[in-house]
Structure 1
């Protein structure tokens, strides 16, 4: 197959050549033209199957080239590449049957996805030549993409500009600039998993069509895919008085089709589209998913503090280091109980958990010198067959992530015997002034007393007690160098509450009493 790139900017042509995966799509000849005039000559000579063209070019521009391709009945698939999100260009691209419309700067993923679709469609066309059917399909695909982009951008604007309102008036037959508008959001994730077997594109296509059939029937709004958030559909109602009725109709229609209860979050009615969207988003993020209500409103919204895994990172780390899933389960049980009693199963809470777990997991894996790139188990199946949130499934999924982490750490053998003993030694050095017991150490490091006694003596050639005594005596000798400190003050400073017992231990360890040691220092001076 052959491809032609038409653009008056050399670096754009070179960029397309570098970014596109030509070989994968069976394209082995790539032609270049600086404008539409040169392109026509190359097209006549080589008949390329795929054509990328800019819109603004000298001599003959992209619109003129599209007109010629249309009149000449060239069967190539034409993809418009433009730096201008302009409705007039889009309209001409649609009218002259271009396959798709890509905005600069070009994203490799979008480019190659579009190229792949164009190649596949050209092959189908070459076999069937059902030209009219394919042209209608292209029109139906490209136009919704334009309006998805248009309304997604509009939701981030406080005002509808005159130019934007003109486009809406031309398409929908009314002005919405000064109307009270209400926005509702439908998260698509649970629908994708439960009703569409993981097919995200089919879910977006089907649900948006259901919603648009309802709102467009009486021209009261529009439903579109939010290109700024891949997890949601947006419904704008410009007849806000009927908003609640329309939203209920949409929820019922989706359930009738899929047997899944969708969640719909409705915001505040306002002229300001950004405010309308932001309030709907806040309702969606704070809604209690465990609630039986499937339509969330601003009036019923409640908020509760988030549970942060980061606040419990130390307890979780020690449980993980123990290598015991029972210890991890005990920590998770505490967290889940707190979550149910003091917090809310909201999308915001779930997102916070997932984000902080990924952060902690990456940090722990880095400590353990394990590749943090994965792949890892990411438990996201929180939904029942009817689309309702299932807290017990959430708990199982989160426990599954921790179980994998325990297994990873065990396999990597980071929690080795040597590292355990090094941690205990560090603890002794930091806490020698305290009354440390072997049982306390065993509880802290999730190890048995017998194991600690045996392994510590094996590594350090001394018992825990002897090693602790050695640390205390070394520190005591340093303190005895200060002639202003009383012996009982030195004893207390290294963890002994009884001066006589301290002196007895010191003499046994050093061969002299503390006073004799201090006098020997004076003699040296």
Structure 2
């Protein structure tokens, strides 16, 4: 039986001890957590324990603060059951006690049998109300989870009008997020004999397998990780993970990797199918969810290149080394970047360098994978920043054309055509949007670089919906809002580090970071060395 946490309050030590002994003889699991001599002591104890009590047994007449005042003040803050004990057989006192929510009013001297009978009744009342509160709390959690999941399903749906979303993120906890996309791989030949009912059963089974695996992972992390699961289109599923960890924490990336592997294993074990999973970098602002969706969809295109039953994530280097060297993988990254920036001249020059490097390679397979990798990355710009439906050629047809190419110049022509088409789409998209709010946002970001910046706080300054603003900003600039802020902060940090009077911790604060380790990690990712090493190198050069 669950313990009933009780505090006893009376200004007479003899009576306090007597009530405690009498309570220990009563039926039920009574736990006396405190025995106190005044109302002020009792209120202070309840504040320190955050109101973690079930029953308050208190005298009425006490110095400093009487029992009636104690109950009234404590009831404003916490939920518990009070029992008044007094030697005053006064109807007015009883009326007041009942009005303040007392479960009972017991007269001194206390009748032991009457006390035991009443405590048994009070025990039943308290335990039942605890069960009711737990049930209500569970229902509220489930209702909130359902509401959140419906919103996530809406936000990640195709053709969404983001201008209608509003401040939907406020219903979610702050922290770090990762969005996982789970997609059914090409099905085996024997599936042609499956009926529509068979497919419904398999679909139901896969959805439940994903939920069960995610539930087990959530239990393993013992409250440090939350998850939401929902169905996308046909045979497509989504899982979003949340961690309260600080930006330096890497637990959420590990959990995404572990969950991806577990889902793939479970689907292959319990169904005749396999799935692939893709996810981008973690989000520190949930208004980035539409962009995270597009990134996950884009990454899934690597299934054409690397095959089924795989996990695809933003750390491209891990994949590139399998079939091409890091230099060729880096070319693909740069080609994608210039397409995002809609820079035709730089794209042409970079493409020329790329194919010059390819002309020095003797392996046709390596050449094919390198070009296909670049093609997928450039094609993803059209999907992520414009619309997948308006990209002039499907990815599958493009990869097939590359596979049939017999000469290097044919591969170059196919890739250059895609680059020009995507750049044209990006330019058209930017011209159709409003540039003024983006320029205003840029100016405000620069002026408040040392502040705690979020997509919502910036969007509010230009009177735009946060989700719509986030997409508009990336469409106009080619970078996300948060990447733009990070770029500015890193450049500003380099400037400040040249001044010896600023400690690294001071620079961290001045450019808007609270965690020095996280700041150093960001700086090293950008420039290849920590802020301290960067400063030492500058001082050595002098």
Higher RCO by CA contacts (8 Å cutoff, separation 6 or greater): 2
Same fold (TM over 0.5): no
Q: Shorter-chain TM-score: what band?
A: under 0.3
TM-score normalised per structure 1: 0.23
Structure with bigger gyration radius: 1
